[in-house]
Amino acid sequence: MDDFDTLTTQMRDCDICKGLPLGPRPLFKVNNAAKVLIAGQAPGRITHEKGIPFDDPSGNRLRDWLGVNRDTFYNNPRIAILPMGLCFPGTGKSGDLPPRIECAPAWRERALALMPHLELTLIIGRYAIDWHMPVAKGQSITALASDWQATWPDQLVMPHPSPRNNRWLKTNPWFELDVIPALRERIAELL
């Protein structure tokens, strides 16, 4: 069994991604008191450069959706951030590359095992869906997000909060009208 401090030190020192264009810089926020897990894809270029997860426009929107301020988001031990890939994977033709496949098997199960108090997992993106909801493989994010009450209040599939998804949010206004108020209420209960 892993000790929490030992594991987080090993994760921070990980160099699985030493071949990536910007090199390894594992970004995550875990705590054994966490009740809320933000399970995203992988850090973006901006957050990689800053060394802080979700410290970009996507993070601003995510904090708004959660109804928490920056201080709470980063300093409340009840919020954990564990992406599928801990390092920025690089950029491809249509945006960031997918998370490296070596990362989740190396760290995810061990980190999740040390967070026994999780009550809500926010699942952001295809790779996080496939890991956390393997029975949903192949279903669209829109279909899963629109059926949000099926896994509520334990899990919530969400679109990525990136400004690139403004069009999706305009096409699916129910997300911000119906889901976000319930999410804010649940977050307030858990924090």
136: Cα separation from own chain's centroid: 17
Average pLDDT, integer, range 17-24: 88
In our burial notation (b when 16+ CB lie closer than 10 A, e otherwise), range 93-120 reads eeebbbbbeebbeebbeebbebbeebeb
Closest CA to 26 of 64, 59, 53, 57: 53
Strand ranges (DSSP E) for the chain? 36-39, 79-81, 91-92, 95-96, 120-124, 155-158
The answer to whether residue 34 scores a pLDDT higher than 70 is: yes
Closest CA to 72 of 113, 38, 24: 38
Summarize pLDDT for 114-171 with one digit per residue, the tens.
999 999 999 999 999 999 999 998 899 999 999 999 999 999 999 999 998 999 999 9
Strand-strand pairing, 91-92 and 36-39: unpaired
Q: What is the pLDDT of residue 92?
A: 86
Q: What is the pLDDT of residue 19?
A: 85
Question: Are 146 and 176 within 8 A, CB to CB?
Answer: no
Average pLDDT, integer, range 23-44: 95
Q: What is the pLDDT of residue 20?
A: 86
Summarize pLDDT for 55-98 with one digit per residue, the tens.
999 999 999 999 999 999 999 999 999 999 999 998 888 888 88
Strand-strand pairing, 91-92 and 95-96: antiparallel
Q: For the chain, list the domains and their CATH numbers.
A: 4-190 (3.40.470.10)
Q: What is the pLDDT of residue 85?
A: 95
Torsion of CA 13, 2, 84, 50, to 10 degrees: -40
